[in-house]
């Protein structure tokens, strides 16, 4: 079986390499903006991950396992995507400061031989320290935050803001390894 990751994320590539030695990357052309949240976050991230995986599966050989994932940050029932600019990143980090938020990941695995599809959702609670405006701007200047949901990366400089988590660390990074490993075993 060939494994295919339907994501351009460097973090997901690095994490998947801990489970699957040999895989290729194919970026999905799924239109994420076509999906509305409608107050069901778990369903929303599963639809996104499934859309990405199905989009890539259409152009893969039968002997393929396709993995799609999507990760979002939610605080006070509001989804924080990737910031549009540095001011948007500041707004997000200010909202996360001295607060608790959830990081949700939808993961979909498709067996192109059997046409079996498994989609799961997982969330992790993340507790942030209180951040001064100066700390936030210093972090924003690293530009690490600009391509990450919620405007921070727990695996990078942003990890210093995290007091504790309740749940899967790798979920916050972008790919819940334990869940994905279980799903792959089930679908093979």
Tokens representing residue 66 in the block: 């396709």
Q: Which helix (H) or strand (E) holds 66?
A: strand 64-75
Tokens representing residue 34 in the block: 């076509």
29 is catalytic: no
Tokens representing residue 154 in the block: 């727990």
Backbone angles phi, psi at 185, to 5 degrees: -60, -40
List the catalytic residue out of 22, 63, 70, 88: 70
Concatenated DSSP letters of 75-123:
ETTEEE-S-SSHHHHHHHHHHHTTSEEEEEEEEEEEETTTTEEEEEEEE
Distance between CA atoms of 89 and 95, rounded to whole angstroms?
Answer: 10
Q: Inter-axis angle of helices 133-140 and 86-96, to 10 degrees? A: 140
Residue 77 in contact with residue 106, Cβ under 8 Å? no
Tokens representing residue 27 in the block: 């970026």
Collapsed DSSP state (helix, strand, coil) of residue 184: helix
Residues serving a catalytic function are 70
């Amino acid at each position: 079986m060939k494994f295919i990751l339907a994501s351009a994320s460097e973090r997901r590539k690095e994490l998947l390499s801990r489970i699957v030695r040999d895989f290729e990357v194919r970026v999905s052309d799924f239109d994420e903006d076509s999906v509305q949240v409608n107050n069901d976050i778990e369903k929303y991230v599963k639809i996104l991950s499934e859309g990405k995986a199905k989009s890539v599966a259409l152009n893969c050989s039968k002997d393929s396992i396709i993995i799609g994932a999507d990760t979002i940050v939610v605080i006070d029932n509001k989804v924080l995507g990737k910031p549009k600019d540095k001011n948007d990143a500041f707004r997000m980090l200010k909202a996360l400061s001295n607060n608790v938020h959830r990081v949700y990941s939808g993961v979909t695995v498709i067996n192109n031989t059997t046409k079996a599809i498994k989609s799961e959702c997982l969330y992790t609670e993340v507790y942030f320290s209180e951040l001064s405006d100066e700390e936030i701007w210093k972090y924003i200047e690293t530009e690490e935050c600009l391509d990450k949901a919620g405007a921070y990366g727990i695996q990078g400089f942003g990890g210093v803001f995290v007091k504790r988590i309740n749940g899967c660390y790798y979920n916050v990074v972008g790919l819940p390894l334990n869940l994905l490993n279980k799903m792959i075993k089930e679908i093979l």
